[in-house]
Amino acid sequence: MEKLLVCYKWVLDEQDIKIAGDLSLDTGRAKYKISDYDKNAIEAGALLAEQQGACVEAVTFGTAAVKQSLKDALSRGLDKVYWIGDAAAEQADAFVTANVLAAAIKKIGQYDLILCGEGSSDSYSQQTAPRLAALLGIPAVTFVQKLTIDGGQVVATRKLGDCTEEVTVTGPAVISVLPEINKPRIPGLKQVMAAAKKPSAEVKVTDLGMAAEELFPKVRCLAIKGYVMDRKKVIFKDDDQAYNVAKLVASLAKEGLC
């Protein structure tokens, strides 16, 4: 493996999102971050590159705000980032995102392995990676919790419900990883300073030769509202704690929860 590519998304930080009185989402003070799941993909790519002596690059598609992600991404072990900032990303679904990423990858070059997070922190559709593989005409391996390279083959352990599956694939291939695959590094001052000297390149959607229909989403988000949980507020406060526990278990059993 000589060249690896990671796809990542620049998303709103969910901890900054507030729910207004009408259940609408207040994002006025929300900052952006690299999707948590994509941090795992970046870490996986950086570790493989270090082990194999390979080059690891990244590509990201978003609005103009995605340019703000470059320093953070490059400080996490990447050698270069290609960024695509376009208004089409505002309403982009997995269909549009995969189309743009595939067109960009075809333009910027061939890769031995393409890594993605299993989903994104905002929509978590879990569609982008397999769609990307289909558009590029290469294999996709999803739900990966362990990844190694043995010779020219990629060995991946997939988490499937209550069991695991080990598969091998020869690159190029698209791999989508689960959060348990690793613990993303926290860049130090040295890595942040070095990131400022690493290269990045803008790729314009208008230069990708895409048809208008490829940028029109199949799914459009009309509204998002916060979820309110209606709690039963049942309190067991007898002096006998064993009695309280028994009543709690009985209540949960009645609700079909145990």
221 within a domain of the structure (yes/no): no
Cα–Cα distance measured from residue 171 to residue 154, given in angstroms and rounded to the nearest whole number = 7
Which burial class, exposed, middle or buried, applies to 41 when counting CB atoms under 10 A from its CB (0-12, 13-18, 19+)?
Answer: buried
List pLDDT tens digits, range 86-128.
999 988 999 999 999 999 999 998 899 999 999 888 888 889 9
Mean predicted confidence (pLDDT) in 194-213: 94
175 and 103 in a single domain? The answer is yes
**Same domain (yes/no): 103, 175:** yes
248: helix, strand or coil: helix
Q: Across the chain, what does the average pLDDT equal?
A: 91
pLDDT tens per residue, range 14-68: 888 888 888 888 888 889 999 999 999 999 999 999 999 999 999 999 999 999 9
CB 90 within 8 A of CB 59: no
CATH number at residue 53: 3.40.50.620
Q: How many domains does the chain have?
A: 2
SS3 for 156-190 is EEEEECCEEEEEEEECCCEEEECHHHCCCCCCCHH
Is 65 within the bounds of a domain?
yes
**Quick one: what percent of the chain has pLDDT higher than 90?**
67
What is the value of pTM for the model shown? 0.84
β pairing state of 55-62 and 3-8: parallel
At residue 80, the pLDDT reads: 97
- Whether the per-residue pLDDT at 228 is higher than 80: the answer is no
Question: Is position 223 within any domain?
Answer: no
What is residue 258's predicted lDDT score, i.e. its pLDDT?
66
Tokens of 183: 């613990």
Does residue 200 share a domain with residue 140?
A: yes
Mean pLDDT, range 199-217, rounded to an integer: 94
Residues 85 and 118 in one domain: yes
Domain around 42? 3-215
Is the domain of 133 the same as that of 258?
Answer: no
Q: 246 and 206, same structural domain?
A: no
How distant, in Å, are the alpha carbons of 98, 118, 133, 198 from that of 129? 8, 8, 6, 26
Range list of H helices, the chain: 36-52, 70-74, 94-108, 128-136, 189-195, 241-254
